Amino acid sequence: MKNLLLILAVVAALSACKKGENDPFISLKTRKGRLSGDWKVTHAVYSINDTVWTYNGTTLVKSMDGVELSSFPVTHEFSFTKSGEYTINKTNEYPANHFSPNTPAITTRYLETGIWNFTGGAGDTKTKSQLLMQAERIEKRVDGLSEVDAEAFVNPLYGKVINLDMLKNKEMRWKYDYTENKPTGKRTETGLWEFEKK
């Protein structure tokens, strides 16, 4: 009887590490332990207002009303630490003539660092089922023009809440849907992102 109670207690403790519907049934790592590390975006589909972006892990395609407008190579990586810090690295490689005839090939680099935490626990949202990412510094750089264009923003008051649809040891899936009111107008974004751990 004692052995059965011990087994049930161990199974209950291990399954308590599961928070999302698509998480593994049993995991030896907590959600924080599973999130920590380096991740590569392998697939993403997101829309910003009427524009749809589709990413297959190497190429980003921009389309509107089912018509492809452009495509270009992209690398997109995220890193999370157990202490609550994150980094986003994104590189876009626009070929020559991408923006207009006779424009050179351009590479843009985006670096974002900030802090993260789990949220949830209100209403139907489970504890640790959402990820809050608050940027502390954003750097942007453009190479390929006659002069390098670089800028940095500190404490940009920029944050996102992401629904963690799946968080396994080597795989992760995000879903989100939010609206921002900006001075230039309303910005609606919805998305589904998939990652694999590097």
The predicted pLDDT at position 12 comes to: 39
The pLDDT score that the predictor gives to residue 28 is 59
83 burial (CB, 10 Å; 0-12 / 13-18 / 19+) is: exposed
Low-confidence residues in the chain, pLDDT < 50:
2-18, 25
- Backbone CA torsion sign across 173, 178, 184, 185: positive
Which pLDDT tens digit goes with each residue over 109-130? 999 999 999 987 766 778 788 9
pTM of the model: 0.81
Q: Which amino acid is at 117?
A: N
Domains recognised in the chain with CATH numbers: 31-197 (2.40.128.280)
Whole-number pLDDT of residue 15: 39
- How far is it, in rounded angstroms, from Cα 64 to Cα 66? 5
